[in-house]
Structure 1
Amino acid sequence: MSELVEIAAPGTAPGISAATLPQAFQATVSERGERTALVVHGENRSLTWHDYAAAVEEVATGLAALGIRRGDTVAIMLSNSPEFHIVDMAALHLGATPFSIYLTSAPEQITYLFDNAGNTVLVAEERFLDVIARTSAPLLRHVVVSDGDRSGTVGNAEVLSLTALRHRRLTGFDFARTWQAVQPSDLATLIYTSGTTGPPKGVELTHANLMFVMHSCNIRFPFGAEGAAISYLPTAHAADRVFSHYLATVTGWPITTVRDAAAVFAAVAEARPSWFLGVPRIWEKLRGALLTRFSALPEEQRLATTGAVAAAITAVRLEQEHAEVPAVLGTQVAADEERIFQPLRKRLGFDRVALLMTGAAPIAPAVHEFFLALGLPLQEGFGMSETGALGFTNLTTEIRIGKVGLAQPGTEAVLAADGELLLRGPHVMRGYRRDPVRTAEAIDPQGWLHTGDIAVIDEDGWVGIVDRKKELIINSGGKNMSPVNIESALKNASPLIGQACVIGDRRPFNVALLVLDADSARIFAEEHDSADTSPAAVAVDAHLLAAIDDAVEQANSQLSRVEQIKAYRLLDIEWLPDSEELTPTMKLRRRGIASKYADLIEDIYRTARPV
């Protein structure tokens, strides 16, 4: 760690030299106290760092009065809000381990987490009391309601308000001595994986793990003295904690909290973040919205804008191929940059963005090159909950489409004999909570974390992810294929295809389930003068079905014969985050899909006439 501290740029981030998150927080409060720390999007509410620190001390004192001590766990079920940051930081100052629960979790899922974490306290919004009442939580003793004055009981647990908690006192409690006693080896959080292949695992991340993540980021992407972050992803996911909560703790940047993720780009336009992370579906939605906006412009302006985008995309493709950009094209792109793209970035709120990331799943090349063409430095990265969301990134000076980048400083990477990507570094988790067997399966005796991803590493050290090791399709002929690559080709072929799931493991050929992108389908229906633009009507529209056929044919033309889709079904529903089909971060739950649509899949194979 000492080498990283020397390389880092001290002074630009008040908390960067700290060994624990409470130390970083207190250093930031000391330097940035009167500056804004927390802002609520859509509300006239904000807190300075001094306000934030005072609230943290009050809540920490209250939690201590409830019996929370170093090493205990505290569950949090809160929307993206100042209250989340206050409660989480308060628990950290006690040396406790706060962890978040996905807000859409069912009682059975919450019961599993409570049993694994062993928490006696939950801080939640009042609307979640009903679901909490249906859990089995014999250890739960206190439920703190963040947004109401409720009191009473839920099961065996006392219910009290956050206001009441902040007024509780514990005789002899020394706040400063308590947070100063927190050690780098103490657990800072539990991140429960979304469980694409089974029950979630509780990833144990220490203060040392997370401070190393901050140090490594500061080396590759030096923190500026001024900046801003946005919190809109689920706080149960490592990405939101790293890209907002811990980032702001170290840098002193204000965080804009966004309760409704659908409003994220309205918040971006106001907050003008310097760091921003979105999953691929977020970028797909923004691209679709911008294309819709462009098509609605007056003809002269529409032609100028779409022509500028097309020219810039051509330039991006040439640059990606390391080919020379013709002088005429370069001149046009430069003129369009000043006339069209620069004002557009300002309207979007991305005019001062320094780090723009996409992760959690592969992004379609067409989507990626679109944003590069707009002058937005969107780069793909790779991280895992098990590594504090840190792993590989592109460089701000070099972005390669289709690559997740170079290993972050301090991260080692190699490929196993079967092509699996292995990582090692100070950010690798302590282990899975109460699960030594799966911990030993994940981390070998040499300290290498087995990621479960098949990857390639070129001679320059750049990494490309092929697919999840367990999700590779091996057809009945023994051919190995990446479903992600095939799905990417399908989604890349038409904006009408919002989701695609390829099936073919131990089958004679590949088929697919396709889900319409609701916005693109509505626009398509309106352009074809359809009276009914509902999903059910659009999904059987002859013009749309022909367009989907064309898209599948186009995708197949880019795939080898064995990879091609021989039949598909178009679904008239939308797959939503944290459902049977998708994880909260919109990764496919392949087992869930295979189970839910088993009869339909069998019908596709029974009636298909492969060519």
Structure 2
Amino acid sequence: MARSATDEKVDRSIIENRAPSVGHMFRERVQALPQGEAFRHPVGDGWESLTWSQTRDRAYALAAGLVELGVQPEERVALMSSTRIEWVLSDLAVMCAGAATTTIYPTTITEDVAYIVADSGSRVVIAEDDEQVAKLRERAGELGEVLKVVVVDGQGDGEHVMSFAELEELGRGRLEREPDVVDARIDALTPEHLATIIYTSGTTGRPKGVRLPHSAWTYEAAAVASIGILSQDDVQYLWLPLAHVFGKVLLALPLQIGFPTAVDGRPDKIVENVAVVQPTFMGAAPRIFEKVYGKITTMMMDEGGVKAKLFTWASGVGKEVGEIRAAGGQPGGLLATKYRLADKLVLSKIRGRFGGKVRFFISGSAALNTDVARWFDAMGLLILEGYGLTETSAASFVNRPAPGGYKFGSVGWPLPGTEVRIAEDGEILLRGPGVMEGYHQLPEETAASLDADGWFATGDIGEVDELGFLTITDRKKDLFKTSGGKYVAPSLIESRFKGICPYASQLIVEGDGRKFVSALITLEPEAISAWAAQNGMAGDSYHQIVTSDKAREMVQGYVDELNSQLNRWEQIREFHILDHDLSVEEGDLTPSMKLKRKVVTTKYRDKLDEFYAES
């Protein structure tokens, strides 16, 4: 008999007795596990660790430094840095000082940096390096009442900018004079105090500041702990942007549960680092899984011969076993024998690329292709897809690792304490302790999204099945209707294509009010270069490869395969391969790698219009 959300065993006492604030949660973790490993970070060619006690000493020094600078309770401190140990320490310091963190991506353009700092009312800005400080200098007159800029990698100028080490030293001096200054700030915190303002990266218009109180983060951490999928024995590898709500919630979990976290935000180091760190779990956006899937499958296809046949056979065996295990069973007889052989020859080697100890991955921030998820599961690497928004403190739904607790294509069950309702038009409504208190200084926008009873309108369309699994159909604003009156959900089509075509980077579907559906396509640079080497184009530029007739023919084959799985009105009749990939730097993607659909379709409007003019 299949399990349902109502069958799940939940330790609700963890949620009911959770800490009043992030500062309290951190302090309690230090008291419970002072010599336990808290964080691991790269230094030179190796890694160094901080115990929980050592983490507290540094975080308290930084917190006291902020107090010495004049930062008051609930005043904002902006962090504009990549994911690194100093980001972690700074955020903990802000929480312990009773202030609130404003998160800013290091890729944020100068204009938006100035807007976020001023709109949030940030009094101190902790910037990663001189490049980030330069953004602040360029718009110095627009920043509001900033007391000081602190630079992590760089030197201060005394008057306006101080170094990270100087802030820490300043705080140690304050602690010598007033040893209880930080604990007093923590003691004064309540669940309702503001902890964080995260500005939605937004696909259009100005970003909106989402106000999240301490209760949101303590709830998220306690709710995940209550379902028992993580323990102190786990090891997390954390590379996600901590300016994003997904990364931020993964930083709250170790405070509640006590496992160590290896921190390094360099995406190009992920494969190298996981082999060394040997994590038991890791969070990532779907793009990372799509890239791994594409790289390994194309590499095997390029090998050809016996290796390719062995890989295909082992993958098939793994998928068959995965289906049995998902239903709560175990393979037996001949299948068990085949699986042992497949695992020894192929599957274990794939897992070894991730350190060999991964129990599961967590995928969030965008839709994960089902074929990609099943492929990873066949390798013995389960991906648990989850769902949430900045406005709900990230995790509202997540699949569980136990048999019967996950369903591919769904985002799982709600976290204990989170309620879900589907509106008449299919929109997902959420209510619970993780929901924001509102948008910063935007009462009308808050009222439009959050009703008087606490229900937040997510803007996503979905449905809940009889077992409690939520499936997302699309963004409400992205759904469009062709001129023939048929609705099309572009995100589902785009995600499906990435599972079919291992060379795909992006697919952007168009067709609002049009006679048929068309698309813009970009190809993954590394994967397509390997393909080119096998097709007589070794050494050619990316532009030459993707605009070649051979590439067009190859992509057409995958588009035809996609179309065979779609309704007639959803099928892609025309497509154009762009001569470059989309990027955050060019404004095509948000910092969390989400497609800025309107930006991209507007940028290439002339090319799209050509399809319909010719028809």
* Alignment TM-score, normalising by the size of structure 2: 0.91
Tell me, yes or no, if the aligned pair for 2:107 and 2:585 is still in contact at 8 Å: yes
Gap change, CA 1:275 and 1:99, over 3 Å in 2: farther
Give the Å deviation of 1:251: 2.3
The reply to whether residue 378 of structure 1 matches residue 376 of structure 2 is no
- Bigger Cα displacement from structure 2, 192-201 vs 102-111: 192-201
Mapped to 2, the partners of 1:573 and 1:98 lie a distance apart of 36
Mapped to 2, the partners of 1:476 and 1:483 lie a distance apart of 16
The reply to whether residue 31 of structure 1 matches residue 36 of structure 2 is no
Partner of 1:138: 144
Partner of 2:20: 19
* Pick aligned residue for 2:479 from 472, 476, 498: 472
- For 1:566, what is the secondary structure of its paired residue? strand
Mapped to 1, the partners of 2:243 and 2:283 lie a distance apart of 15
Larger RCO (alpha carbons 8 Å, 6+ apart): 2
Tell me, yes or no, if the aligned pair for 2:103 and 2:198 is still in contact at 8 Å: yes
| Aligned counterparts, 1:495-574, within 5 A | 495-574=502-581
Residue by residue over 1:546-567, the C-alpha shift from the partner in whole angstroms, topping out at 9 and shown as x without a partner, is 1111111111111111111111
| Aligned counterparts, 1:294-373, within 5 A | 294-295=300-301, 300-316=306-322, 328-351=334-357, 353-373=358-378
Mapped to 2, the partners of 1:476 and 1:5 lie a distance apart of 49
Give the Å deviation of 1:293: 4.9
Give the Å deviation of 1:355: 3.9
How many residue pairs match? The answer is 596
- For 1:167, what is the secondary structure of its paired residue? helix
| Aligned counterparts, 1:71-82, within 5 A | 71-82=74-85
- Bigger Cα displacement from structure 2, 162-171 vs 401-410: 162-171
The reply to whether residue 69 of structure 1 matches residue 72 of structure 2 is yes
Mapped to 2, the partners of 1:324 and 1:254 lie a distance apart of 32
* Alignment TM-score, normalising by the size of structure 1: 0.92
| Aligned counterparts, 1:317-466, within 5 A | 328-351=334-357, 353-397=358-402, 398=404, 399-466=406-473
Partner of 1:238: 245
- For 1:79, what is the secondary structure of its paired residue? coil
- For 1:562, what is the secondary structure of its paired residue? helix
The reply to whether residue 166 of structure 1 matches residue 173 of structure 2 is no
Partner of 2:603: 596
Mapped to 1, the partners of 2:427 and 2:238 lie a distance apart of 32
Mapped to 2, the partners of 1:547 and 1:315 lie a distance apart of 32
Tell me, yes or no, if the aligned pair for 1:94 and 1:182 is still in contact at 8 Å: no
Amino acid paired to 1:380: E
Mapped to 1, the partners of 2:429 and 2:243 lie a distance apart of 25
Instruction: Please provide the CA RMSD for this pair.
Output: 2.6
Partner of 2:288: 282
Mapped to 1, the partners of 2:539 and 2:353 lie a distance apart of 33
Gap change, CA 1:214 and 1:163, over 3 Å in 2: same
Give the Å deviation of 1:176: 1.7
Mapped to 2, the partners of 1:374 and 1:277 lie a distance apart of 18
Mapped to 1, the partners of 2:419 and 2:75 lie a distance apart of 32
Give the Å deviation of 1:223: 3.1
Residue by residue over 1:550-594, the C-alpha shift from the partner in whole angstroms, topping out at 9 and shown as x without a partner, is 111111111111111111100110112364221111111011112
Amino acid paired to 1:7: D
Mapped to 2, the partners of 1:152 and 1:199 lie a distance apart of 33
Give the Å deviation of 1:338: 4.6
Amino acid paired to 1:95: G
Give the Å deviation of 1:392: 1.1
Tell me, yes or no, if the aligned pair for 1:356 and 1:379 is still in contact at 8 Å: yes
* Pick aligned residue for 2:227 from 201, 214, 220: 220
- For 2:569, what is the secondary structure of its paired residue? coil
The reply to whether residue 247 of structure 1 matches residue 253 of structure 2 is yes
Gap change, CA 1:324 and 1:114, over 3 Å in 2: closer
The reply to whether residue 121 of structure 1 matches residue 128 of structure 2 is no
Gap change, CA 1:503 and 1:190, over 3 Å in 2: same
Gap change, CA 1:263 and 1:124, over 3 Å in 2: same
* Pick aligned residue for 1:56 from 59, 72, 75: 59
Amino acid paired to 2:381: L
Partner of 2:5: none
Gap change, CA 1:223 and 1:401, over 3 Å in 2: closer
Partner of 1:184: 191
Give the Å deviation of 1:248: 1.8
Give the Å deviation of 1:316: 4.2
Mapped to 1, the partners of 2:198 and 2:473 lie a distance apart of 25
Give the Å deviation of 1:336: 2.0
Amino acid paired to 2:169: H
Residue by residue over 1:26-46, the C-alpha shift from the partner in whole angstroms, topping out at 9 and shown as x without a partner, is 122123222332222363433
Tell me, yes or no, if the aligned pair for 2:348 and 2:356 is still in contact at 8 Å: no
Mapped to 1, the partners of 2:61 and 2:43 lie a distance apart of 26
Mapped to 1, the partners of 2:129 and 2:320 lie a distance apart of 52
Gap change, CA 1:325 and 1:476, over 3 Å in 2: farther
Gap change, CA 1:551 and 1:159, over 3 Å in 2: same
Partner of 1:105: 108
Tell me, yes or no, if the aligned pair for 1:532 and 1:538 is still in contact at 8 Å: no
* Pick aligned residue for 2:203 from 181, 192, 196: 196
Mapped to 2, the partners of 1:259 and 1:455 lie a distance apart of 32
Residue by residue over 1:172-223, the C-alpha shift from the partner in whole angstroms, topping out at 9 and shown as x without a partner, is 5722212111111111111111111322111111111111111111122343
Partner of 1:150: 156
Gap change, CA 1:5 and 1:436, over 3 Å in 2: farther
Tell me, yes or no, if the aligned pair for 2:373 and 2:382 is still in contact at 8 Å: no
Amino acid paired to 1:390: A
Give the Å deviation of 1:329: 3.8
Mapped to 1, the partners of 2:267 and 2:548 lie a distance apart of 31
Tell me, yes or no, if the aligned pair for 2:98 and 2:186 is still in contact at 8 Å: yes
Give the Å deviation of 1:9: 8.1
Q: Identity rate of aligned residues, in percent?
A: 31
Gap change, CA 1:498 and 1:320, over 3 Å in 2: farther
Amino acid paired to 1:160: M
Mapped to 2, the partners of 1:326 and 1:464 lie a distance apart of 32
- For 1:120, what is the secondary structure of its paired residue? strand
Which runs of no fewer than 5 residues in structure 2 stay unpaired?
Answer: 1-7
Gap change, CA 1:121 and 1:473, over 3 Å in 2: same
Gap change, CA 1:380 and 1:6, over 3 Å in 2: closer
Mapped to 2, the partners of 1:335 and 1:577 lie a distance apart of 43
Gap change, CA 1:16 and 1:196, over 3 Å in 2: farther
Mapped to 1, the partners of 2:502 and 2:352 lie a distance apart of 25
Amino acid paired to 1:179: I
Residue by residue over 1:508-543, the C-alpha shift from the partner in whole angstroms, topping out at 9 and shown as x without a partner, is 211100001112211111111213332111112222
Mapped to 2, the partners of 1:455 and 1:239 lie a distance apart of 21
